[in-house]
Amino acid sequence: MKQLLIFLEMVVKSRMDHELGKTETLAKPNLDLYFDPNEFLGKIIQDLNIKNQELLLLALAMVPYIAPGFLSKIVQEYFPEGTSLPEFGGYKSKYHRGIIPTGETLLYLLGGNDPVSRKKYIAIFQDSRLLKEGHILIGEASEEEPFYAAPIYPDQEFADNLLMESVRPPKPSPNFPAERITTDLDWEDLVLSEKTFSQIRALEDWLTYNEQLMEEWGLKRSVKPGYRVMFFGPPGTGKTLTAGLLGKYTGKDVYRVDLSLVVSKYIGETEKNLSRLFQKASGKSWILFLMKPMPFLVRERT
């Protein structure tokens, strides 16, 4: 993490010196940095080939977590009397006292105040692997504002891995209307027909050996990732228990999703809700157990 701060400080000071006329040319930071490949940060940098612009995006997203006053302190060095410096972007939230970077902050550090350079670098919001794969997120700005005026921040699980080398289970929220389910029961407690049970065990094998099939056997070139299956039956037939057992015996977290909280009467909102849900689960190897809400039974009076 210290290496990220060193890199970010070099980039910020280089840009500020250039924009304020202290240097005629923009100094390129020394990128001779070492990230331990045995740690999550080093591994993700190596796996995604993160460097230059992407490394800056990563550093900005993480700086509020590892050094809250970092950006404020640097800006204060250049403007001891205080300044709004709108070009720098960023904002202060209700609880976080430091500067939370926005897409504007990223654009300023990459392109400064030059419109041509800013137009060139704006493509990072579309091309970045960190953004595409959901490791780094950008909030939603108001319709009248530039989309990049919103904050950039890490996905919760991604931040947990960077900071703690472990992941906290996500909490139910409007963007993730799901709760984790577990079970103390075993396969012997599940009562199913022999045919159905063999199908379930085949699904267990797929979940267990999925990575080997996709990576070592090269099936990812012709087979879509993930596995979709429908459980059908009235309440009490073991649908939830089956999902819990599959998670238990394959070492995967199972999250039960209440579809009544996803479906919306407004046009387009259901699709957006599902997109946020699947984006949250992308790359996590979770089992999503989507439950259709039971219809109300209406009985006529006699």
Burial of 158 (0-12, 13-18, 19+ CB in 10 A): buried
Give Cα separations from 102 to 51, 60, 167, 180 (angstroms): 19, 8, 25, 32
Same domain? 280 vs 253: yes
Specify the 3-state DSSP secondary structure of 5.
Answer: helix
Q: What is the average pLDDT value for the chain, to the nearest integer? A: 83
Count, residues in the chain = 302
Q: Is the pLDDT higher at 247 or at 174? A: 247
Statement to judge: residues 56 and 110 lie in one domain: yes
Domain limit, last residue, from 129, 164, 199: 164
Res 302: pLDDT: 38
Among residues 35, 46, 28, the alpha carbon closest in space to that of 1 is found at 35
23 in the same domain as 152? yes
Residue carrying structure tokens 């039974």: 297
Q: 47 with 195, same domain?
A: no
pLDDT classification of 295: cutoffs 50, 70, 90: low
In the predicted model, is pLDDT for residue 298 greater than 50?
no
pLDDT digits (tens, 9 = 90+) for 61-102: 999 998 888 888 988 888 887 766 788 888 888 788 788 899
Instruction: Count structural domains, the chain.
Output: 2
Q: What's the average model confidence in pLDDT over 10-24?
A: 85
Same domain, 158 and 81: yes
Question: What is the predicted pLDDT for the residue at 19?
Answer: 84
Residue 284 CA to residue 114 CA, distance in Å, equals 39
Report pLDDT for 222: 72
> Is residue 29 domain-resident?
yes
Beta bridge mates, 257 = 178, 290
Q: Are residues 25 and 138 in the same domain?
A: yes
Residues 157 and 39 in one domain: yes
In a domain, 92, yes or no: yes
Percentage above 90 pLDDT, the chain: 17
Instruction: Give residue 297's pLDDT.
Output: 44
Residue-range definition of the domain harbouring residue 209: 178-291
Q: Percentage of residues in the chain with pLDDT exceeding 70? A: 92
pLDDT digits (tens, 9 = 90+) for 189-237: 998 899 999 999 998 988 888 777 777 777 667 777 677 888 888 888 8
Asked if the structure places residue 219 within a domain, the reply is: yes
Q: Phi and psi at residue 100, in whole multiples of 5°? A: -95, 115
pLDDT of residue 299: 47
Do 129 and 6 share a structural domain?
Answer: yes
* Predicted pLDDT at 32: 62
Pairing of strands 178-181, 254-258: antiparallel
Task: Examine residue 274 and state whether it is found in any structural domain, yes or no.
Answer: yes
Confidence of residue 57 (pLDDT cuts 50, 70, 90): very high
Does residue 296 sit within a domain? Answer: no
The answer to whether residue 144 sits within a structural domain is yes
pLDDT of residue 46: 83
Of 131, 164, 197, which closes a domain?
Answer: 164
Question: Cα separations (Å) of 209 from 62, 69, 250?
Answer: 34, 46, 9
Query: Is residue 297 a part of any domain in this protein?
Result: no
- Whether 120 and 72 map to the same domain: the answer is yes
pLDDT tens digits, one per residue of 231-270: 888 888 889 999 999 999 998 899 998 888 887 778 878 8
pLDDT band at 31 (very low <50, low <70, confident <90, very high): low
Position 299 in a domain? no
Domain final residue pick, 123, 141, 164: 164
126 in the same domain as 42 = yes
For residues 284 and 185, state if they share a domain: yes
H helix intervals, the chain: 2-19, 40-47, 53-66, 70-78, 103-111, 115-121, 124-127, 129-132, 156-164, 194-211, 239-250, 269-281
Q: Is there a single domain that holds both residue 154 and residue 8?
A: yes
What global pTM score does this model have?
0.66
pLDDT of residue 86: 81
Identify which of 220, 203, 202 has the alpha carbon closest to the alpha carbon of residue 211: 220
Confidence category of residue 153, pLDDT binned at 50, 70, 90: very high
Instruction: Give the residue with greater pLDDT, 3 vs 131.
Output: 131
What is the average pLDDT across 157-167? 81
In angstroms, what is the C-alpha Rg of the chain?
24
pLDDT tens digits, residue range 36-56?
Answer: 777 877 888 888 888 888 889
- Specify the CATH number for the domain of residue 287: 3.40.50.300
Sign of CA dihedral 161, 163, 165, 170: negative
Torsion sign over Cα 143, 146, 147, 152 = negative
